């Protein structure tokens, strides 16, 4: 976690006319998520083969903090030559795809295997965030979520970077920049329309409402508690569970 003057691009701009992803009911909370720490840049392919279609490139380091890229690992396999491959979640948009591929295959070489027991779940219907460790719920906090025209994109994502913001930055004191990107808004100040969990400083809003441009706003206490514990690679689920039938 490094201090930076860069504002995470989550106060989005420039509507693109696309619709937010639908679906994503209750999240399946994982007790342990395997991750891959990249030791070099990686081409990402649609199948575990050097002949697979190239769907993007994953850089060695993240753009805000400069920390090494950490990706959740979803599956393992070997190709016909015996080379190991990993199916991973991808960070952000790749090769201009709309919508971008969410997962792809990378070679297992130049990676270091790790794992995390943390999982963040944001319920956009109840407008609350829950934090789990080893499958057990530890904390719950009220949150501000995306509004009707700029909703928080539903689905399974992960934390790309843990960013300490300057005291005057919107969303201070911290932001957890996720792999989610808005499907409605494409950029903010030249950024990629990235969805983050961040604080309320210099931006405001009432907790428990749906007024953001897609990001998740939390109290300073909540985002500080998270920032001290959550590292890149931690799964983040944005869900809208249906109400229980009576």
By DSSP bridging, strand 118-123 and strand 235-239 are parallel
Which of 114, 142, 160 is the last residue in one of the domains? 114
What is the DSSP secondary structure assignment for residue 168, as one 8-state letter?
T
- Whether residue 245 is contained in a domain is answered as no
Domain count, the chain: 2
Query: What is the helix, strand, coil percentage profile of the chain, to 5?
Result: 5, 45, 50
- Looking at the structure, tell me whether residues 43 and 104 fall in a common domain: yes
Query: Which residue range(s) make up the domain with 95?
Result: 34-114
The tens place of each residue's pLDDT in the chain, 246 residues long, gives 444 433 344 433 333 333 333 334 677 898 999 999 999 999 999 999 999 999 999 999 999 999 999 999 999 999 999 999 999 999 986 555 455 568 999 999 999 999 999 999 999 999 999 999 999 999 999 999 999 999 999 999 999 999 999 999 999 999 999 999 887 765 544 455 799 999 999 998 999 999 999 999 999 999 999 999 999 999 999 999 987 656
In a domain, 244, yes or no: no
The answer to whether residues 116 and 35 touch, using CB atoms and an 8 Å cutoff, is yes
Of 199, 210, 198, nearest in space to 236 by CA? 198
In this prediction, residue 199 carries a pLDDT of 98
- Same domain? For 56 and 126 the reply is no
């Amino acid at each position: 976690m490094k201090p930076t003057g860069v504002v995470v691009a989550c106060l989005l701009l420039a509507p693109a006319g696309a619709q937010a992803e639908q679906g994503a009911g209750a999240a399946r909370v994982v007790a342990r998520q395997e991750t891959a720490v990249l030791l070099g840049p990686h081409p990402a392919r649609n199948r575990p083969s050097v002949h697979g279609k190239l769907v993007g490139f994953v850089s060695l380091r993240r753009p805000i903090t400069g920390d090494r890229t950490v990706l959740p690992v979803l599956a393992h396999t070997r190709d016909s030559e015996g080379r190991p491959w990993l199916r991973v979640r991808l960070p952000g948009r790749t090769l201009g795809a709309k919508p971008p591929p969410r997962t792809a295959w990378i070679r297992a070489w130049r990676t270091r295997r790790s794992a995390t027991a943390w999982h963040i779940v944001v319920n956009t219907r109840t407008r609350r965030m829950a934090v789990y460790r080893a499958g057990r719920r530890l904390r719950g906090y009220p949150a501000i979520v995306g509004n009707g025209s700029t909703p928080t994109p539903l689905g399974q994502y992960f934390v790309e970077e843990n960013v300490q913001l300057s005291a005057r930055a919107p969303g201070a004191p911290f932001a957890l920049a996720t792999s989610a990107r808005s499907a409605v808004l494409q950029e903010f100040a030249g950024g990629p329309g990235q969805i983050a969990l961040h604080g309320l400083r210099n931006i405001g809003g009432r907790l428990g409402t749906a007024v953001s441009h897609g990001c998740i706003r939390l109290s300073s206490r909540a985002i500080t508690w998270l920032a001290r514990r959550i590292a890149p690679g931690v799964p983040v689920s944005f869900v809208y569970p249906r109400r229980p039938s009576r």
